């Protein structure tokens, strides 16, 4: 949205965050990010104000337009479709803002604005930074560690319709939740098909097998970067049995420092983000927004080791192993072969014509922000780790 404001020479209001989600987080932008730093660091790019001036009313339809921009749009869309709207309206409120600008086909100048926002302007509040760094230090004191983004929270499972390994009561509970949120479009979902296509997060049981097959030792220190795991400690039992040094932020910090962040999932996620970008190895069990952002930041910080699981091939191998069709040795060999090229390395984004959701996201591989950017300029065929 900063890039769009820059392109159209508009004044931007500090973003409002969605408060209707499952987590019911009432955090504002300023509870997570340093607003003053955000505004001042971008003052040469775009004018940003903290709130809508009083002379404008967000409910006055004669001056304010409430709309959702088309997803994955290029500069022409904003210049030819959005800019003319300001001849009638003084304020345009974009009520949906994720994935509204294309990954590719954007001018280098505008991509560099996105770089500046993502890696310089967006800075966590001093309180979050301090506690996040304290978590990192506590982990460092114990040695090297892996950040495991175990995306196995209730909202993820309900939204995705993935219920592999769950009992009928749990599957029904997730289905009821899916119907309770009208803006979740898909209601009836074939979990088995989605899993076979690699569109489900790995379960804690599956994750334990993958980590062992990839060569992680039993004494590996693993930090779980996630919200509350669906099923709690019972669901984590297989993973904890395989890796006893499994820790969460609640285990590393006293309750008092965490109290101000509890019931604020976005602020807790910010702590996980800090730990995930600083870890020796990062491994996500699902490629959602958090995983993509961490991957991109780890590239920016010098290509810190990130392993990107191929879930489609993994669930096939896991089922073969669990059915005793292949041995542990064959399973281990196959998992390692599949992931030999899935450790993040310098590469250009993969571009897929008319399939933006399936191509590499700008935030996961912002090559314009990196030292190898000249290798990718004008490239249509790309080298990719996927």
Q: What is the pLDDT of residues 8-33, one digit of tens each?
A: 999 999 999 987 776 678 999 999 99
Return the ∠ at Cα 287 (arms to 75 and 102), rounded to 5°. 5
Place of tokens 């709207």: 85
- Same domain? 312 vs 333: yes
Q: Is 131 helix (H, G, I), strand (E, B) or coil?
A: helix
Residue 378 pLDDT:
55
SS3 content of the chain, % helix, strand, coil (to 5): 45, 10, 45
Tokens of 297: 């930041």
- Same domain? 248 vs 103: no
CA distances from 187 to 21, 66, 196, 230, 357 (A): 17, 27, 19, 20, 20
**Is the residue at 19 inside a domain?**
yes
Residue 371 — pLDDT band, cuts 50, 70, 90?
A: confident
- Same domain? 37 vs 102: yes
The count of domains in the chain is: 2
- Same domain? 117 vs 131: no
Burial environment of residue 129 by CB neighbours within 10 A (0 to 12, 13 to 18, 19 or more): middle
Backbone φ and ψ of 69, nearest 5°: -65, 155
361, pLDDT greater than 90 = yes
Residue 175 — left, alpha, or beta (φ > 0 → left; ψ -120 to 50 → alpha)? Answer: alpha
Residue 94 pLDDT:
95
- Same domain? 141 vs 101: no
Q: Choose among 299, 316, 300, 317: nearest CA to 308.
A: 299
Q: How many angstroms separate the CA atoms of 100 and 1, rounded?
A: 8
Q: Is 31 helix (H, G, I), strand (E, B) or coil?
A: helix
Distant-in-sequence, close-in-space partners of 199: CB < 8 Å, separation ≥ 6: 160, 162, 311
- Same domain? 63 vs 146: no
**Is the residue at 189 inside a domain?**
no
Query: Terminus-to-terminus CA distance in the chain, angstroms?
Result: 28
Q: How many angstroms separate the CA atoms of 368 and 361, rounded?
A: 12
176-191 average pLDDT score: 87
Q: Report the percent of the chain where pLDDT is more than 90.
A: 82
CA distances from 337 to 205, 207, 266, 296 (A): 21, 17, 36, 24
CA distances from 237 to 167, 233, 294 (A): 16, 6, 26
Q: How many angstroms separate the CA atoms of 120 and 1, rounded?
A: 15
Q: Report the percent of the chain where pLDDT is more than 70.
A: 96
The dihedral built from the CA positions of residue 261, 267, 272 and 274, taken in this order, carries a sign that is negative
380, pLDDT greater than 70 = no
Choose the weakest-confidence range: 210-224, 266-280, 297-311, 344-358. Answer: 344-358
Residue 381 pLDDT:
37
Note the Cα 251 to chain centre separation in Å: 23
Q: What is the pTM of this model?
A: 0.93
Q: How many angstroms separate the CA atoms of 321 and 305, rounded?
A: 27
Residue 385 pLDDT:
31
Residue 132 pLDDT:
97
**Is the residue at 363 inside a domain?**
no
**Is the residue at 373 inside a domain?**
no
- Same domain? 244 vs 109: no
- Same domain? 88 vs 36: yes
Largest CA distance in the chain: 71
356, pLDDT greater than 60 = yes
Backbone φ and ψ of 97, nearest 5°: -130, -5
Residue 363 pLDDT:
94
Choose the weakest-confidence range: 182-186, 277-281, 330-334. Answer: 182-186
141-176 pLDDT, tens per residue?
999 999 999 999 999 999 999 999 999 999 999 999
Q: How many angstroms separate the CA atoms of 17 and 98, rounded?
A: 11
Q: How many angstroms separate the CA atoms of 37 and 28, rounded?
A: 16
**Is the residue at 162 inside a domain?**
no
Strands 146-149 and 91-94: what pairing?
unpaired
- Same domain? 309 vs 223: yes
Residue 255 pLDDT:
87
259-275 pLDDT, tens per residue?
888 889 999 999 999 99
8 Å CB contact between 97 and 72: no
80-101 average pLDDT score: 95
192-242 pLDDT, tens per residue?
999 999 999 999 999 999 999 999 999 999 999 999 999 999 999 999 999
Residue 23 pLDDT:
66
**Is the residue at 114 inside a domain?**
yes
**Is the residue at 23 inside a domain?**
yes
**Is the residue at 354 inside a domain?**
no
For 79, the domain range is 1-121
Q: For the chain, count helices (H), then strands (E).
A: 18, 8
Q: Is 92 helix (H, G, I), strand (E, B) or coil?
A: strand
């Amino acid at each position: 949205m900063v890039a769009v404001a820059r392109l159209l020479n508009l004044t931007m209001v500090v973003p409002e965050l969605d408060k209707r989600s499952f987590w019911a987080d009432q955090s504002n932008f300023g509870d997570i990010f340093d607003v003053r730093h955000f505004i001042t660091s971008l003052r040469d790019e775009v004018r940003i104000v903290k709130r809508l001036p009083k002379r404008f009313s967000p409910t006055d339809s004669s001056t304010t337009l409430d709309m959702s921009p088309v997803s994955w749009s290029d500069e022409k869309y904003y210049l030819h479709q959005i800019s003319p709207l300001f001849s009638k309206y003084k304020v345009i409120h974009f009520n949906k803002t994720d994935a509204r600008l294309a990954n590719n086909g954007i001018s280098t100048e505008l991509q560099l604005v996105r770089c500046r926002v993502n890696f310089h302007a967006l800075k966590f509040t001093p309180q979050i930074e301090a506690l996040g760094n304290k978590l990192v230090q506590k982990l460092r004191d114990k040695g090297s560690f892996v950040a495991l983004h175990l995306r196995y929270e209730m909202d993820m499972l309900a939204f995705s319709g993935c219920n592999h390994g769950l009992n009928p009561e749990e599957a029904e509970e997730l289905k009821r939740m899916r119907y309770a949120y009208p803006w979740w479009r898909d209601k009836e979902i074939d979990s088995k098909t989605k899993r076979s296509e690699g569109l489900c997060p790995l379960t804690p049981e599956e994750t334990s097998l993958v980590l062992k097959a990839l060569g992680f030792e039993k004494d590996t220190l693993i930090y779980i970067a996630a919200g509350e795991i669906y099923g709690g400690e019972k669901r984590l039992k297989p993973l904890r049995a395989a890796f006893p040094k499994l820790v969460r932020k609640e285990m590393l910090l006293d309750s008092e420092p965490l109290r101000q962040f509890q019931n604020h999932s976005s602020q807790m996620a910010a702590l996980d983000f800090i730990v995930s970008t600083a870890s020796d190895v990062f491994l996500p069990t699902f490629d959602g927004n958090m995983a993509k952002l961490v991957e991109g930041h780890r590239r920016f910080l010098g290509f810190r080791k990130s392993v990107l699981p191929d879930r489609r091939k993994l669930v096939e191998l896991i089922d073969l192993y669990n059915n005793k069709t292949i041995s542990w040795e064959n399973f281990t060999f196959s998992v390692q072969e599949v992931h030999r090229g899935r450790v993040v390395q310098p590469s250009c984004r993969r571009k897929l014509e008319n399939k933006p959701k399936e191509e590499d996201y700008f935030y996961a591989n912002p090559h314009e922000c990196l030292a190898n950017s000249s290798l990718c300029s004008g490239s249509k065929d790309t080298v990719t780790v996927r």
